[in-house]
């Protein structure tokens, strides 16, 4: 995987550039894909939101039992928790922290909202209060928006890194 910041060719699957320390998964370059348009949404994150919306609709209509919904929440919560821990365990070099501060802040705020939404939905399973279900879904939607915003910030930062630095030529 080639680092878009410094151009170093890292091993496939590397998470951090061995030369400059940038987080490669945040700046992954894929020559086969065009850069998404500013208005384009992020399908992986939105697919997860769609799973929540579908599950809530099914539990409301009776097409999914409360127990099956609880199983869905447990499995999904475990997946999201694992992804969150993977992100938190990445060692970000001190010199790169400022480059990622806003993106990480917005992204972790989105993760927190997702977690709050899941907690509210678990409370629904216990109390069968439709307000808890709706509140949970709204929190998940808000979390999804924040995560999409973090991905947009990442794309902007990546574009800035890819822009030629005119001052380099003056030195």
Q: How far apart are CA 67 and CA 25, in angstroms?
A: 36
Do 98 and 123 belong together in one domain?
yes
129 and 50, same structural domain?
yes
Between 128 and 153, whose confidence is greater? 128
**Does 129 have pLDDT greater than 70?**
yes
Residues 49 and 66 in one domain: yes
Assess whether 52 and 17 both reside in one domain: no
Residue 119 confidence (pLDDT): 96
CB hemisphere CA count around 20 (13 angstroms): 16
Phi, psi dihedrals of residue 31, rounded to the nearest 5°: -65, -15
pLDDT value at residue 34: 39
Is the torsion defined by CA of 100, 103, 106, 109 positive or negative? negative
Question: How many Å apart are CA 38 and CA 26, to the nearest integer?
Answer: 17
66 and 91 in a single domain? The answer is: yes
Quick one: 14 and 51 in the same domain? no
30 and 101: one domain? no
What is the extent of the structural domain holding 61? 43-170
Q: Which residues of 126-160 are buried (b: 16+ CB within 10 A; e: fewer)?
A: eeeeeebbebbbebbebbbebbbbbbbbbbebbee
pLDDT score, position 20: 63
pLDDT over 60 at 88, yes or no: yes
What is the per-residue pLDDT for 166? 54
**Same-domain status, 93 and 155:** yes
Is pTM, for the whole model, over 0.85? no
| Same domain assignment for residues 81 and 24 | no
Which pLDDT score, from 0 to 100, does residue 74 have? 94
How many Å apart are CA 45 and CA 24, to the nearest integer? Answer: 19
User: What's the structural domain count of the chain?
Assistant: 2
Local confidence band at 60 (pLDDT 50, 70, 90 cut-offs): very high
Lowest mean pLDDT among 7-11, 84-88, 126-130: 7-11
- pLDDT over 80 (residue 1): no
> Does the pLDDT of residue 36 top 50, yes or no?
no
């Amino acid at each position: 995987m080639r680092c878009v910041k410094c151009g170093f060719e890292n091993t496939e699957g590397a998470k951090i550039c061995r030369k400059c320390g940038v987080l490669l998964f945040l700046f992954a370059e894929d020559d086969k894909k065009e850069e998404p348009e500013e208005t384009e949404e992020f399908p992986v994150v939105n697919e997860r939101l769609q799973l929540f919306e579908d599950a809530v609709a099914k539990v409301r209509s009776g097409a999914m039992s409360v127990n099956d919904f609880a199983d869905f929440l447990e499995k999904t919560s475990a997946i999201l928790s694992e992804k969150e821990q993977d992100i938190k365990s990445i060692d970000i070099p001190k010199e790169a922290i400022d480059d990622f501060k806003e993106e990480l802040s917005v992204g972790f705020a989105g993760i927190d909202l997702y977690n709050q939404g899941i907690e509210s939905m678990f409370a629904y399973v216990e109390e069968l209060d439709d307000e808890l279900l709706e509140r949970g879904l709204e929190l998940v939607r808000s979390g999804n928006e924040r995560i999409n915003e973090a991905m947009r910030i990442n794309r902007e930062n990546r574009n800035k890194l890819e822009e030629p630095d005119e001052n380099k030529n003056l030195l």
